[in-house]
Structure 1
Amino acid sequence: MRNIVCLILFSTALRASGQTTLYTSSYGKGTKCSKEHPCSLYAAKEQVRRMVSSMSGDIVVILTGGTYFLDSPLEFGPDDGGKNGYQVIYTTYDGGQSAISGGLPITGWSAVGNGIYQAKYEGPGFRQLYVNGKRATRARSPNRSDDQGFGPYYRYNGLDTQAKRIRIDRKEIVNLERLGNLETVIKHHWDQGRYRIDSMEEQGDQIWINFKEPETSIDQWQQGCCPGWSVGQSFYFEGSFELLDAPGEWFLDETLGLVYYYPRPDEKIENIHVIAPTRDVLLAIDGASYLTFKGLVFECTNWDMPNEARIGVQSGWRRNYERPFIPGGIQLANAHHIQFTNNIIRFFGGTGIEFAHSSHDNVIEGNLLIDIASNGIQIYTDILNSLPDSIHECRNDSIVNNYITRVAQDYTGGAGINVTFSNGIVIENNEVFDLPYTGISIGWGWTDNTTNLKNNLVRYNNIHHVMQLHDDGGGIYSLSNSPNTIYSHNYIHHIVKSQWAEEWPIAGIYLDNGSSGILVEYNVVDAPRAFSAWNEPNHGNTIRHNWHFPENQIVVRPENKLEDNFSISSDTWPRSALDIQTKVGPNFPMPVVDESSLLTPIRNNRHSSKRKKNGKIAN
């Protein structure tokens, strides 16, 4: 009902006096921006810039149906948002679907044998490929057959932290004449590292693998913590033509300028629709305010920085980079009163939506985020400054009524929602599911010192089928001192430990190092460890009035309060717990992408796979 009311109000606003409406088309020309003569999206943005200073009503930019392939990011500054109490609204036409894409269609496929096809490609490098609206698999070994834990995997059986190398069984690697940038992708407890192979040394039926720089220098190469090495960790090889041997796999040879693809049984090469992501950023919002993006599809962003090594630490953070978090395809900084409403955000090669410093009072509501390479939503990335002044902090943002699923698909240590230092964030009525690691992560720093992390509210979220690969995480995971923070009325369930996980715990609600000042109440939890609050420092938290099953462990330090929780003796939740379950998650069905309305006929599209390489956006 709430969304129906919003639609009625939106329709009424379109007819309101003083409002200006501009129309765009994926083939738009000129500057009229009328329904009869639509302009390009870039031209409409320039028209808006000339109008905002004298706004007497909302300015609505309507994208007519189809896919808008971007030549460059859409950049919004102080002169592109609403003024005089009005909004600038970008939306779709008459309930249809319009997509803003950073992708590039690839055509002209020819057979090369063994079921494999090739096409010429002269654009920038990429690490994902989408065929008929589905993600294809970058060539790997062993071949992937598990869409939950992304397995199967091998396990290395030897480790030399001094020489910085691992040992594997000889049978686990094919006879590779060209190592190139072949990667060994290793799961370390709660994160993932990607290490390019430099050389191999055979010792009977064993092989020692040596890695390239900078992998060997930026990784701490220690057993145990951070996230640490341990004999028996799972891994796979990725990124070589020699591994291309299963339907649905692909490989890009940048040297030869060729893309290879092995079609799935239900795909015909003459009518497949192949998109490679080539733009790192779709929207770059810096200094703007009062902008709304409503009912759109944002898709196909790129991020090929891992070609130079990616050693993960936690939740999309990587070592030894000036910008440590994996960047978002939608970026906000110095922005306020920005709204993303009822959009579909999919096929992103890095993080989905990223709010950086000095952003406040922004709303992400009613969206579907699906098939994202790293974090779904990232709030406040300046982890080097845990105490910004009030002007530069992120505060009073809302993440409400969203579906967040199948994120961290490439960099599996990512979270559905990751918040570092934030003041007054509200995360409620979201459904977060099908993730390899943590659902919602709040906090940073591993410290009980005072920071800008405070006054945060996480409630009425439906979190399930997370932790499908890693260990040492949970449905809701927190770090550091967070006074006046509440986790309440969440339903956290269907969490089981993966066969590829290691020995560290998995919890429904996990209060990790530094956690203090947090109230955990009225949550319904079914996880191997219902509540964990043990790693020091860890004090001043209250865990009360929650429901869990007897087999769900509770491990809490005595410096915290654990009181009046309910251990359910049967398989049926009591009415009070069932009542909470009925109130969690979004209040509308999950959106569905209508592929037929988005796929622009290739013969009419002015883009081709021969687009020249362009300058890279800073990583």
Structure 2
Amino acid sequence: MLLSFDDLDVAQNEVRRLLAAGQGQDLEVRLSAKTYARTAPLVLTDLDSGRNGHTVTWTAEPGGRVERSGLVESSGLVKISGGVALGGWRPAGDGRWVATVPEGVPAPRQLYVNSLRAPWARSHWLDHDDCKIGPEGMTGAGSLGVAAYARPSDVEMVFRVRWRDYHCRILEVSGDLIRFAEPCWTNALPGTGRVGPHWDNTAVGTEIHGWSMFATNALELLTEPGHFVWNSDDRTVTYLPREGEDMESAQVVVPTCEQLVILDGAHDLVLKGLTFSHTAWHRSDDGYVGAQAGFTLTGASGPLGEAGSHYTKPVAALTVRGGRRVTVSGCEFVHLGGAGAVLEAGTKDTTVTACAFSDLSSGGVYVGDIDPHPALELADEHNTVSFNTFRGTGAEFTDSVAVWGGYTRNLVIDHNTLEHLPYSGISVGWGWNQPEAQDPWLGDNRITGNRIVDVLRVAERQYDGGAVYTQGPQRGTIVQGNHIDRSEYGTTANDGNGIYLDEQSSHILVARNVVTRVGYKWVSNWAEYGVENRAAGNWTDNTITPAFSGAGSVMEDNAEGLTELPPEAVRVAERAGAGPWPAPVEPLGTQEP
């Protein structure tokens, strides 16, 4: 049965009415091609779900005409947007333009000008050798230039420590001391008990690994075209246009809504050909205290654990919570202030396929949760992420990854293309080597046929990861047939690994992968407590002796130090990724343009 609508809420009400009346066939909800602006997410539940083997599909009306919606021009696409149009631009001198943000719109972290992301203005990397970190704040307001900012309380400092990313708002400047909003600052410091001593060596200000930092959102920093600054008192944004941009006619969108669609206990549903765009991430005094892979430490108190079982998952445009037999197909996730899609809380038999993820502040797809021993109804399993493309995720929160799997079983991550990422590409597993993470709900996962190019980028200063990264004992897990090309770094301090079996990764098969032009080890199983791993039949040009430790772990029949890939390896590489095939593989030694 076909139904056509141009309003999401009207469509939902009619679908519910038909289902409640015992509708006994598949329903296809066709939406008119336009932008559907949301101030709150559309929530689909059991009441909106297919019945008796039938499905409910939400998709675009075929052959939609071009319409101007006030936000963007649509050409046959259904765009669900969490943004509002921002007009009224006026010159502000020095080539800058200013506009007033309407009341009720949260403080923006990004604008989108003619469909291009405009981030906050930022400084260069700041020399902090003489800065002192303590519970009261950080010294160096004068030498860092922060004391000269007209509005320091709108400024956010960003810190990078190995694999962790921190964003804390300045509360005030007192003499040479910079004080930060709480609880962000306490959560970011060593010795405060918020993360346990095991992770203190990657907190802000620790010397063992070193750290980097820069300032954002000060008018004094607005020198780069395509950036802006937010003034919380005047509720204005000041923007420096790119060459050729006319702010009197530009289409500018400011994100307001964090989530667009939530499937809560929904089942037998299909979302097809939809675009999710312009979501926000609402800054609070929690700030962003990155733990790993886009998870953060929030709140001033509460349960803690060194296995990361109480961290906060990134907010996402689409959340599937406890879903069954859900398919997300041919959708686009673009211009997001958080993550793309989250499958959680016992979601099973759900697929994200043939979708495109680009220009996301956080990660692409998150599958599973961080409780190692979930109740069966909350255990995620038999989910699939396949034939998707990920490009430019982690645009703001650079510790995030394109595809993350937590404590999950029978997860298939197959034939995806991942390109130009600041940190790791695919991450599966959790818990490190902590006692509470033993014998977890984890295993029989398949990371197969993916193409991962240009990850762990030096410019972002996010260290210690891999194109494919794993944690935890996961018997039956396979990493096979992937093509990994170019991960940066070249020292043990700033690891740029190809396939990284970290911490307690155990019982994993690494086979028939092609790993080229990586900065450090092509495969790493460094921990003695990562046992019974096997790397066999892989091809690489890498000549660095890999670490492969742990009882029962073996390497066999791998071709290393190659100057030319054999035909069989070329075939594997060309078949990797989301297509189209065949994709010609560059000869070893060439550089990407």
Report TM bin, short chain.
Answer: 0.7 to 0.9
Amino acid at match of 2:485: H
Say yes or no: does 1:217 pair with 2:217.
no
Pairs within 5 Å for 1:385-404: 385-404=371-390
In the alignment, is the contact (CA less than 8 A) between 1:58 and 1:87 conserved in 2? yes
The Cα of 1:243 is off from its aligned counterpart by 2.4
Amino acid at match of 1:252: W
Residues 60 and 454 of structure 1: CA distance in aligned 2, closer, same or farther (over 3 Å): same
Residues 427 and 550 of structure 1: CA distance in aligned 2, closer, same or farther (over 3 Å): closer
The Cα of 1:164 is off from its aligned counterpart by 6.1
Q: Which residue of 2 aligns with 1:359?
A: 347
The Cα of 1:117 is off from its aligned counterpart by 1.3
Q: Which residue of 2 aligns with 1:33?
A: none
Structure 2 Cα separation of the partners of residues 227 and 461 of structure 1: 33
Q: 2:367 aligns with which of 379, 396, 412?
A: 379
In the alignment, is the contact (CA less than 8 A) between 2:498 and 2:522 conserved in 1? yes
Structure 2 Cα separation of the partners of residues 535 and 91 of structure 1: 48
Q: Which residue of 2 aligns with 1:31?
A: none
The Cα of 1:483 is off from its aligned counterpart by 1.0
Residues 228 and 575 of structure 1: CA distance in aligned 2, closer, same or farther (over 3 Å): farther
In the alignment, is the contact (CA less than 8 A) between 1:283 and 1:329 conserved in 2? yes
Pairs within 5 Å for 1:220-259: 220-221=189-190, 225-226=201-202, 229-230=205-206, 233-259=211-237
Worse overlay, 454-463 or 300-309:
300-309
Pairs within 5 Å for 1:512-591: 512-526=502-516, 527=518, 528-588=520-580
Worse overlay, 544-553 or 404-413:
544-553
Q: Which residue of 2 aligns with 1:34?
A: none
Structure 1 Cα separation of the partners of residues 580 and 571 of structure 2: 18
Amino acid at match of 1:354: V
In the alignment, is the contact (CA less than 8 A) between 1:489 and 1:580 conserved in 2? yes
State the TM-score, normalized to the length of structure 2. Answer: 0.86
Residues 306 and 503 of structure 1: CA distance in aligned 2, closer, same or farther (over 3 Å): farther
Q: Which residue of 2 aligns with 1:119?
A: 99
Q: Which residue of 2 aligns with 1:506?
A: 496
Structure 2 Cα separation of the partners of residues 569 and 503 of structure 1: 22
What are the superposed Cα offsets for residues 168-223 of structure 1, whole Å, 9 maximum, x if unpaired? 59554251132113111011101211122345577xxxx65443322332124269
Q: Which runs of 4+ in 1 moved over 6 A?
A: none
Amino acid at match of 2:201: C
SS of the residue 1:529 aligns to: coil
Structure 1 Cα separation of the partners of residues 129 and 373 of structure 2: 44
Say yes or no: does 1:55 pair with 2:23.
yes
Residues 387 and 301 of structure 1: CA distance in aligned 2, closer, same or farther (over 3 Å): same
The Cα of 1:71 is off from its aligned counterpart by 3.4
Structure 1 Cα separation of the partners of residues 238 and 487 of structure 2: 37
Amino acid at match of 1:453: L
The Cα of 1:578 is off from its aligned counterpart by 0.6
State the TM-score, normalized to the length of structure 1. Answer: 0.83
Q: Which residue of 2 aligns with 1:465?
A: 454
Amino acid at match of 1:356: E
In the alignment, is the contact (CA less than 8 A) between 1:55 and 1:86 conserved in 2? no
What are the superposed Cα offsets for residues 101-158 of structure 1, whole Å, 9 maximum, x if unpaired? 111000111112111111121222221210001101212213xxxxxxxxxx224214
Worse overlay, 164-173 or 529-538:
164-173
Worse overlay, 128-137 or 246-255:
246-255
Structure 1 Cα separation of the partners of residues 177 and 226 of structure 2: 30
Pairs within 5 Å for 1:311-322: 311-321=289-299
Q: 1:478 aligns with which of 470, 475, 478?
A: 470
Q: % of aligned pairs identical?
A: 27
Q: Which residue of 1 aligns with 2:13?
A: 46
Q: 1:455 aligns with which of 444, 447, 464?
A: 444
The Cα of 1:551 is off from its aligned counterpart by 2.5
Structure 2 Cα separation of the partners of residues 109 and 70 of structure 1: 23
Residues 162 and 279 of structure 1: CA distance in aligned 2, closer, same or farther (over 3 Å): closer
Say yes or no: does 1:101 pair with 2:101.
no
Q: Which residue of 1 aligns with 2:238?
A: 260
What are the superposed Cα offsets for residues 286-307 of structure 1, whole Å, 9 maximum, x if unpaired? 0110111111111011111355
Structure 2 Cα separation of the partners of residues 456 and 164 of structure 1: 45
Pairs within 5 Å for 1:598-617: none
The Cα of 1:234 is off from its aligned counterpart by 2.0
Structure 1 Cα separation of the partners of residues 107 and 552 of structure 2: 50
Say yes or no: does 1:178 pair with 2:134.
no
CA RMSD of aligned residues (A): 2.2
Q: 2:4 aligns with which of 23, 32, 52?
A: 23
Residues 416 and 255 of structure 1: CA distance in aligned 2, closer, same or farther (over 3 Å): same
In the alignment, is the contact (CA less than 8 A) between 1:159 and 1:165 conserved in 2? no
Structure 1 Cα separation of the partners of residues 138 and 557 of structure 2: 46
Q: Which residue of 1 aligns with 2:408?
A: 422
What are the superposed Cα offsets for residues 277-336 of structure 1, whole Å, 9 maximum, x if unpaired? 111110011011011111111101111135542111101111144761122121111111
Structure 1 Cα separation of the partners of residues 421 and 274 of structure 2: 24
Worse overlay, 571-580 or 320-329:
320-329
Q: Which residue of 2 aligns with 1:405?
A: 391
Residues 442 and 155 of structure 1: CA distance in aligned 2, closer, same or farther (over 3 Å): farther
Q: 2:168 aligns with which of 191, 195, 200?
A: 195
Residues 102 and 163 of structure 1: CA distance in aligned 2, closer, same or farther (over 3 Å): closer
In the alignment, is the contact (CA less than 8 A) between 2:535 and 2:558 conserved in 1? no
Structure 2 Cα separation of the partners of residues 155 and 251 of structure 1: 23
Instruction: Name the structure, 1 or 2, with higher relative contact order (CA <8 Å, separation 6+).
Output: 1
Q: Which residue of 2 aligns with 1:134?
A: 116
Residues 70 and 169 of structure 1: CA distance in aligned 2, closer, same or farther (over 3 Å): closer
In the alignment, is the contact (CA less than 8 A) between 1:352 and 1:369 conserved in 2? yes
Structure 1 Cα separation of the partners of residues 544 and 31 of structure 2: 50
Q: Which residue of 1 aligns with 2:249?
A: 271
Structure 2 Cα separation of the partners of residues 558 and 451 of structure 1: 19
The Cα of 1:55 is off from its aligned counterpart by 2.7
Q: Which residue of 2 aligns with 1:492?
A: 484
Worse overlay, 555-564 or 115-124:
555-564
Structure 1 Cα separation of the partners of residues 81 and 58 of structure 2: 15
In the alignment, is the contact (CA less than 8 A) between 2:154 and 2:232 conserved in 1? no
Structure 2 Cα separation of the partners of residues 65 and 274 of structure 1: 20
Q: Which residue of 2 aligns with 1:283?
A: 261
Amino acid at match of 1:380: G
Residues 161 and 247 of structure 1: CA distance in aligned 2, closer, same or farther (over 3 Å): closer
Give the unaligned 5+ runs of structure 1.
Answer: 1-19, 26-39, 143-152, 590-619
Residues 72 and 161 of structure 1: CA distance in aligned 2, closer, same or farther (over 3 Å): closer
Amino acid at match of 1:119: A
Worse overlay, 504-513 or 169-178:
169-178
Residues 560 and 277 of structure 1: CA distance in aligned 2, closer, same or farther (over 3 Å): farther
Structure 1 Cα separation of the partners of residues 386 and 143 of structure 2: 49
In the alignment, is the contact (CA less than 8 A) between 1:363 and 1:399 conserved in 2? yes
Say yes or no: does 1:368 pair with 2:350.
no
In the alignment, is the contact (CA less than 8 A) between 1:460 and 1:585 conserved in 2? yes
Q: Which residue of 2 aligns with 1:617?
A: none
Residue-pair matches, total: 538
What are the superposed Cα offsets for residues 234-268 of structure 1, whole Å, 9 maximum, x if unpaired? 21101223322331111222322222211111101
Structure 2 Cα separation of the partners of residues 523 and 560 of structure 1: 21
Residues 352 and 278 of structure 1: CA distance in aligned 2, closer, same or farther (over 3 Å): same
SS of the residue 1:118 aligns to: strand
SS of the residue 2:463 aligns to: coil
